[in-house]
Structure 1
């Protein structure tokens, strides 16, 4: 999707609740990366259609996407993991202000460790959203996949990372390894025997992986 198309889609989105606008401004002023408006609108539409009861999120940031996913299905419960202490505390504050703490559990810690702990406690989810360290996506997927129910969905954000993944030329050196890992990750998704995957060129690229077998 080119910039003009993305701008057009963002322009025609419905007016957001005041709390949504406040969180977007909070993220912008704090330079905290959150999902763009068109991308989160797409994710919310999937949730409205799928109606997942239990959602796992890898990468809480300030709680924006967890709250938006809950907005799309108010009957859901969300477990979300955040490594950064400051963002974890921001997320807790934002979730408490909106009185959603009974439905959103925020876990502070390294996602690789916390995913193992959740798996050991036999947690199961209908939808898993991966939006954390891009170089670890394959490992996140490996740990999260056994906890996903059949016919569940794993969403992975930023899988096209600034266009570098699709066209890996003139990639800044600091992103070279990450881009390589994302290319490997996308290839793995497309060839996974348990999943069928589509990569949607919205925002920074969203992979939608549907679990077809155990």
Structure 2
């Protein structure tokens, strides 16, 4: 990559995220995600929620054979992501799409993916799942971040701030649905902010 190492770029991205209050994966969570992806070795991956491209580039760096489509609706963050992707030299393997993932025509995407990473609007995971699950290959895996939401998903709902209660109810509903889903084997890992790993049967 031009002029700098990936580690320097990742540190720049972490600093930008901290300064501009952009949520990116906690280090423990992304380390576990990358370990799981190295085991799985997906060739095509769909990410919902690019933000500034940190997780997409970490995944691309860890998996030299993967091609990633990543979707972001915030135009400012999308613009930053494009800049970081260019700086990484990975434009040929990381395609960023500026769109609302719930409104995007899935015909614009690959007909299948080996893996999906959902890290977008926390209260909408069920809707993301319903829209994109058909693109996941048999044996493919969906990884979902923020399933704990800083511990709030485990708290009595009356202890959750009122403005966050709908989101927390939605996260709980999604977790319960996936735990009982006949088409998936799921495990909630207590790493980072809670990583749900669901393998399609």
**TMscore range, shorter length:** over 0.9
Match status 1:158 vs 2:149: no
Paired with 1:105 and 1:206, the residues of 2 have a C-alpha distance of 24
Match status 1:204 vs 2:196: no
Q: Which runs of 5+ in 2 are unaligned?
A: 1-5
Report deviation, 1:36: 0.7
Which structure has more RCO (C-alpha within 8 Å, separation ≥ 6)? 2
Q: What is the TM-score with the length of structure 1 in the denominator?
A: 0.88
Change (3 A) 1:102 1:139: same
**What is aligned with 2:76?**
86
Q: Which runs of 5+ in 1 are unaligned?
A: 1-15
Match status 1:35 vs 2:25: yes
Paired with 2:37 and 2:193, the residues of 1 have a C-alpha distance of 19
Report deviation, 1:17: 1.6
**What is aligned with 1:145?**
133
Give RMSD over aligned pairs: 1.3
**What is aligned with 1:3?**
none
With 166-175 and 124-133 compared, the bigger mean Cα shift is at 166-175
Report deviation, 1:74: 1.0
Aligned length: 195
SS at match of 2:45: strand
Q: What is the TM-score with the length of structure 2 in the denominator?
A: 0.94
Match status 1:126 vs 2:114: yes
SS at match of 1:17: helix
For residues 49-106 of structure 1, give each alpha carbon's deviation from its aligned partner in whole angstroms, at most 9, with x where no partner exists: 1110000000000000000011111111000000000000000000001111111110
Paired with 1:188 and 1:33, the residues of 2 have a C-alpha distance of 26
Change (3 A) 1:122 1:90: closer
For residues 158-187 of structure 1, give each alpha carbon's deviation from its aligned partner in whole angstroms, at most 9, with x where no partner exists: 011111111234100110100001110000
Paired with 2:20 and 2:109, the residues of 1 have a C-alpha distance of 35
For residues 152-211 of structure 1, give each alpha carbon's deviation from its aligned partner in whole angstroms, at most 9, with x where no partner exists: 100010011111111234100110100001110000110111101000111111100011
Given candidates 89, 93, 107, the residue that maps to 1:103 is 93
Paired with 2:119 and 2:126, the residues of 1 have a C-alpha distance of 12
Paired with 1:78 and 1:121, the residues of 2 have a C-alpha distance of 11
**What is aligned with 2:39?**
49
SS at match of 2:134: helix
Given candidates 12, 18, 24, the residue that maps to 2:14 is 24
